[in-house]
Structure 1
Amino acid sequence: MNKKGVLGVEDKIEITAEDLAEPLSYPVDAFVSPEYARAERDLLWPKVWQMAGRLEDIPEPGNFITYNIMDESVVIVRTGPDTLKAYYNVCPHRGRQLVNTPDDVNCVRGRKQKFVCGFHGWTYDLEGQNTHILDKEDWKGALTAERTCLSELNVDTWGGWIYINMDPDCEPLIDFLGDVARILQPFEFEKMRYKWRQWVIYPSNWKTAIEAFMEPYHVAGTHTQLLKYGEFYAYSKAYGLHGVSGFDERDPALRKAGGTSVTRAGGGKGTDPRVSTYELARENYETVNYAASTETLVNAARRLVDELPEGTSGPDVVKHWLASARADDAARGVIWPDITPAQMSEAGLAWSLFPNQTILQGVTFALCYRARPYGDDPNKCIFESYALERFPEGQEPKTEWVYAEPTAEKWGSVLAQDFSNMEWVQRGMKSRGFRGTLPNPHQERKVTNFHRHLSRYMGMGAPRLLKK
């Protein structure tokens, strides 16, 4: 029997940002309720900025991509060298999609100078204006430009990503992003390009999937092979709708405000930091599908035992390693951005952008995730991951979205470990024996902040303080 209220939560109407540091609980309807899943269609997705693609997807005028969210479909087209338009993917005549979007395709890409409806041939230019209607005179002048143009929605860009918003009264994207844009600007994501991109229809709610990457608290229990590089004590911090996480000092006396973004490079108790730095760089590269580091960084780390004397301190090893990698990249035409230690510390290791975008950033690379609903089924989602990297001009690989089953062979062993939890969390939350969530107030604060803001859009499911 599920004992409702057994956790003992405070009956506080509104959770504040300060409350996020306290023990909280949030209900599971957001993950398992069919009614909640259907309500997202009207209460959440039409109201938020959503990452819909990358500018490199549509490099030339006439290039377009589609983006689907639940039963909405959007076409984003480059109309000029520096201009984009976003339209609902529907002909205003009888409602046919202008671009077919099969369920077994992640998104549709192409190039057109006009969009022609496959039903009756109504035609639209890149600016969304109707340019051809067969026998238009039959409508006796009723077909005005306002009635026959494509329905437009908001589109904007940041960091090389394309964002759309269906709300005509939405705030500007830069305001929606808030501190995220300022803190991550030094990384110049717009200069990175796809290395690979994969997707899968996964048996969990989209929130179950994306929350698996909102906190590093799970490292000790899920990615146990990493424990040899030292203890992993996570921090998690809210920035408005969004949040950042990283690794902190376990000793409170050593911590800095907001987390220190401790790296395990050069770490590992009783180990030679020259060796452990290489081992960790290689581990991150090879087990995270060649996305959580770069070949340049791994090769520079491999040389440390030859370039530095035994007994070199961990910080000096890391300093030499990064300087060598930077020089190696410069020699092949990859210029690192100038990011100060203070900026690196503030940026942390991983960002969650509300509602469904995740960025794990490095100086010259990023591993990114997105999860979307699969229709209105609360037990399925479209899960996507892609790697970005800086490449020499013109040497970036040609990539497409590849459907990949959630195995270590396809995704790497670390992501396979994450997949090994998500489905079973989804199932477990339905149990009558599950009394409610107990997120870590320090290390999983991004998760509770996510639910705090999600509940404001949805009008239900707000976190509640646990009685002490």
Structure 2
Amino acid sequence: MNKPVASRWAQQFPQLGTDPVPVEALLSDEYFQREKERLFKRTWLKLARVEELPAAGSWKLKPLPIWDSSIILVRGQDGQIRGFHNTCSHRGNRVIWAQDGHGKDRRFSCHFHGWTYNLKGELTHVPQEDEFFDSFCKADNGLAPVAVDVWEGFIFAHLDPQPAVSLKAYLGEAAARLSGFPYGEMTAVYAYRTVLNCNWKIAQDAFSEAYHVTTIHAGSFPEGFSAKLYDVQLFGPHRTSAVYMDDKGPTPTPVAALSHRLGTTSIAKRGTRVALPPGVNPTRSPNFAFELSVLFPNFLVHIMDGLYFTHQFHPLSVDQTLWEGIQYFPPPRSAGERFSQEYGQVLQRNAWLEDTATMEATHAALKSGAKKVMHLQDQEVLLRHHYQAVDEYVRG
């Protein structure tokens, strides 16, 4: 058997229902504001990879408009990664004046009045400190922290410095299923980002089902992938499933065939998938393409043998989203492997361009008010689960 038998997901997950889904959650600014306060400010969000902070003093600045803040991630002299609001304790100016970026420093100094902080966020120097009053205590005025924790090299942060739920407990079984993949060995990175004029859930929906593959991706992957999902698992607000290739699959072009022969780093290459966690493609079917996983609320991880890629959707407003798509490969060991990687990442990039081409038009059309609901079919089960998980936070 090349792949498992497709299930009827509505029968397996009756709690999700089969009713049409209202589009209010995509268009209402009131709903978006509740998402901001009740969802994004109360859950763990992925911000970076540990490879981005390789040594003591390494820092990365991550703007998070959904938190009304930007976050400084820094690796201390003790090796620990910490997170702080990019806000000086004096008069609230930015400590790092760039909009985003990364670097390496032994300390952070506000350019406005020179207040200086060490890698632990402690306030270490205040010019003319003797001019302040008895109510001022330097030890009490370090940078405001956020909670930071790491799973499989991914750095997550929580707005509450002492969240009620740890990252491990929050990710739960979803993290257990995806743990053990060699994420840290894949350090050749290709990253894309753009601002899309659509709600963040519309953007995320486009990467959460395979129903669209035979139409949108007819150019990139003609007859390549099944339009069905397999092995769907729901873990609280998180979800995962498998995507398989068609039994026959496409005949590779000469360039694709050369890329497949020289390396394993193409999403369209058929072969035995071995470098996977035990729960992913347990039969080691050669038709397995990738695991499609969503770590709630807005981080997608897709793993396969030889590479993985991620998507993240940062809400900017009810109708604007910053999308980041990143592909991760092992460092190439030869010119042939480099060629294979370049071919694979361009193919995947082209597919992402096909995906993102649908999003703004969807939002613009829905704004007309002509349609009040979306009719989701059985293979769009991940979308149905997503809207229910979001709504439980927003209305709960």
TM range (shorter): 0.7 to 0.9
The residue correspondences of 1:41-440 to structure 2 (distance < 5 A) are: 41-70=36-65, 71-80=68-77, 82-102=79-99, 107-167=100-160, 168-225=162-219, 226-229=221-224, 231-235=226-230, 236-247=232-243, 262-264=244-246, 267-268=248-249, 276=251, 278=252, 282=256, 296-297=263-264, 321-322=271-272, 336=275, 341-342=281-282, 349-374=291-316, 377-391=317-331, 412-440=349-377
1:109 & 1:369 partners in 2: Cα distance?
A: 20
Letter in 2 for 1:92: S
Letter in 2 for 1:429: L
Q: Indicate the SS of the match to 1:388.
A: strand
Q: Indicate the SS of the match to 1:131.
A: strand
**Structure number with higher relative contact order (C-alpha < 8 Å, ≥ 6 residues apart):** 1
Structure with bigger gyration radius: 1
Structure 1 residues 380 and 409, CA gap change in structure 2 (3 angstroms): farther
Paired residues of 2:264 and 2:305 also in contact (CA < 8 A): no
Q: Indicate the SS of the match to 1:121.
A: coil
The residue correspondences of 1:12-51 to structure 2 (distance < 5 A) are: 18-20=13-15, 22-51=17-46
2:372 & 2:143 partners in 1: Cα distance?
A: 49
1:127 & 1:412 partners in 2: Cα distance?
A: 39
2:369 & 2:290 partners in 1: Cα distance?
A: 38
Letter in 2 for 1:369: H
Query: Which deviates more, 425-434 or 185-194?
Result: 185-194
Query: Which deviates more, 34-43 or 236-245?
Result: 34-43
1:452 aligns with 2:388: yes
Structure 1 counterpart of 2:4:
none
Offset, 1:38: 3.1
* Runs of 5+ unmatched residues, structure 1: 1-16, 248-261, 269-274, 287-292, 303-317, 327-335, 396-407, 461-468
Letter in 1 for 2:173: D
* Runs of 5+ unmatched residues, structure 2: 1-11, 336-344
Letter in 1 for 2:370: G
Paired residues of 1:45 and 1:69 also in contact (CA < 8 A): no
Q: Indicate the SS of the match to 1:417.
A: helix
Q: Indicate the SS of the match to 2:113.
A: coil
Paired residues of 2:77 and 2:119 also in contact (CA < 8 A): no
% identical equivalent positions:
23
Q: Indicate the SS of the match to 1:182.
A: helix
2:233 & 2:172 partners in 1: Cα distance?
A: 14
Offset, 1:416: 1.7
**How big is each residue's C-alpha offset from its partner over 1:376-402, in whole Å with a ceiling of 9 and x where there is no partner?**
x32211111110112269x9xxxxxxx
Paired residues of 1:238 and 1:445 also in contact (CA < 8 A): no
Structure 1 residues 79 and 165, CA gap change in structure 2 (3 angstroms): same
Offset, 1:205: 1.5
Q: TM-score, normalised by structure 1?
A: 0.70
Q: Indicate the SS of the match to 1:423.
A: helix
The structure richer in strand per residue is 2
Letter in 2 for 1:367: F
The structure 1 segments of at least 4 consecutive aligned residues displaced by more than 4 Å after TM superposition are 278-281, 336-341, 343-348, 408-411
